Structure 1
Amino acid sequence: MLPWGNEDTQQLIDILGKYNVKATFFVVGQWVDKFPESVKALSDAGHEVMNHSDTHPHMTQMSKEAMKAEIEACNQKIEQVTGKRPNLLRAPYGDYNDTVVQAARETGCYTIQWDVDSLDWKNLSAPEITKRVTEKIKPGSIVLFHNAALHTPEALPDILEKLQGEGYCFVPISQLIYYENYSIDQAGKQCYQNTNE
């Protein structure tokens, strides 16, 4: 089993609720097995619950069929708890290649990367997390945070207040990405392609 707990989940839900923010939570199937009540609480609070694989492997070291099995197992677990089938995958470790993208598409998922890493998983202090995120963010950014990171609940209110004060609004990732007419660059970023030119 993975070491991640769920001790911060309700606190994160409460903080996001206070600022009227809906977020996307990528969860591992094994975490769904261990904490189905937390998965349901996230979904019931209006947050997206999406796929982060079933067992958190390095997917680029697997066959395409094994990748698809990882994705499908996690999708089924999330759907069983929430009643909603995920359509987004964040590959563990950000480890992806063309085969991961193809496997995800064949299971009905779009792959997601991020461009701002809070580094909360390195146990940075709340002011360090806040500074890192607020200095690196730009319109369209996807920011990576982790449940059960030591200082994320402490940093989150300051980050939300500062960025909302600067005019940023926060949306779940499904409302941010392109679903057609795009390519993915080597950094994992979607690039819109105007097919009408």
Structure 2
Amino acid sequence: MKFLKHNVYVWSESDARKLPIYCVDTKKKVLSLTFDVAWGNEDMKEILEILKKEDVVATFFFCGDWIRRFPEDVKCVSKAGHDIGNHGDRHKYMTKLSDQEQQEEIRGADDKVKGLLGMSMDLFRPPYGDYDSRVIKNAEKMGYYSIQWSIDSLDWQEPQPEDLIKKVCEHKKLAPGGIILMHTGTKCTKKALPQIIRKLKEQGYTFVPISKLIYRKHYRINPEGKQMLFYQ
């Protein structure tokens, strides 16, 4: 067991396997709602209105190409107080790229956000959830925490809203510290989102963005991807 950058502990027999954060070990009944943003922008305004009405701060992972096409929407997300995360520059499968290409993908989106908002990001979600140890290492070298999810809504499959609500609110991995994956640019997400939020609130959950959920130091990541404080 070795210390890595950001004081990360990884439970492994060797230093070869690196893991992203799938969920967080916490006794607080909190969840993080996250959106991957790489397709259209036709539902962004409505999603932001829903989040405002429900008093939920979420995390948006932006693809660099999307930032280039819809800069005003990115500004709206930031102005509303949501987390701005990195989803790669051109939404490529990261494991198929060289180390240099991986870093270029991360840097491309990072540079666009810096130019647009004057801020740096430190949350990275590999497109398609595609990662290996190299991807995590390269993101880490660039000051990023790699974020996956524990609750996959599968909204990109365009299920009926009631099926999407059930998928999330009755998910077998629904638990404190969970990270929910959703997408913008779908037909069903905006329809199901209000009920998802309300039903989870009825179960006693509150919502925090990833920046408020994860630990920044003195932590380790277990084999299931749960981030845990090392000193408890």
Per the shorter chain, which TM-score range?
over 0.9
Which of 193, 196, 201 pairs up with 1:164?
Answer: 201
Higher RCO structure, 1 or 2 (CA under 8 Å, sep 6+): 2
1:150 aligns with 2:187: yes
Query: How far apart are 1:73 and its partner, in Å?
Result: 1.0
Tell me: CA distance 1:187–1:91, structure 2 relative to 1, closer, same or farther (3 Å): farther
Query: How far apart are 1:187 and its partner, in Å?
Result: 4.5
**TM-score normalised over the length of structure 2:** 0.79
Which of 30, 37, 43 pairs up with 1:8?
Answer: 43
Aligned twin of 1:67: 102
C-alpha contact (below 8 Å) 1:112/1:188 kept by paired residues: no
1:173 aligns with 2:210: yes
Query: How far apart are 1:31 and its partner, in Å?
Result: 0.4
Letter in 2 for 1:190: Q
Kindly indicate which of the two structures has a greater share of residues assigned to helix.
1
C-alpha contact (below 8 Å) 1:134/1:163 kept by paired residues: yes
**Structure 1: gaps (5+ residues):** none
C-alpha contact (below 8 Å) 1:113/1:189 kept by paired residues: no
Aligned twin of 1:84: 119
Return the alpha-carbon distance in structure 2 between the equivalents of residues 71 and 131 of structure 1.
34
**TM-score normalised over the length of structure 1:** 0.93
Query: How far apart are 1:188 and its partner, in Å?
Result: 3.8
Letter in 1 for 2:221: I
Tell me: CA distance 1:72–1:42, structure 2 relative to 1, closer, same or farther (3 Å): same
C-alpha contact (below 8 Å) 2:161/2:188 kept by paired residues: yes
For the aligned residues, what is the CA RMSD? 1.6
Which of 145, 155, 163 pairs up with 1:128?
Answer: 163
Kindly indicate which of the two structures has a greater share of residues assigned to strand.
2
Query: How far apart are 1:52 and its partner, in Å?
Result: 0.3
Greater shift in the superposed pair: 4-13 or 176-185: 176-185
Q: Deviations over 1:107-161 (max 9, x none)?
A: 1110001000111000011111100100122111100000011111110110111
Return the alpha-carbon distance in structure 1 between the equivalents of residues 225 and 89 of structure 2.
21
Letter in 2 for 1:68: Q
4+ residue runs over 6 A deviation: none
Return the alpha-carbon distance in structure 2 between the equivalents of residues 81 and 189 of structure 1.
33
Aligned-pair identity (%): 43
Query: How far apart are 1:182 and its partner, in Å?
Result: 2.6
Return the alpha-carbon distance in structure 1 between the equivalents of residues 169 and 148 of structure 2.
18
C-alpha contact (below 8 Å) 1:29/1:55 kept by paired residues: yes
Query: How far apart are 1:77 and its partner, in Å?
Result: 0.6
C-alpha contact (below 8 Å) 1:116/1:133 kept by paired residues: yes
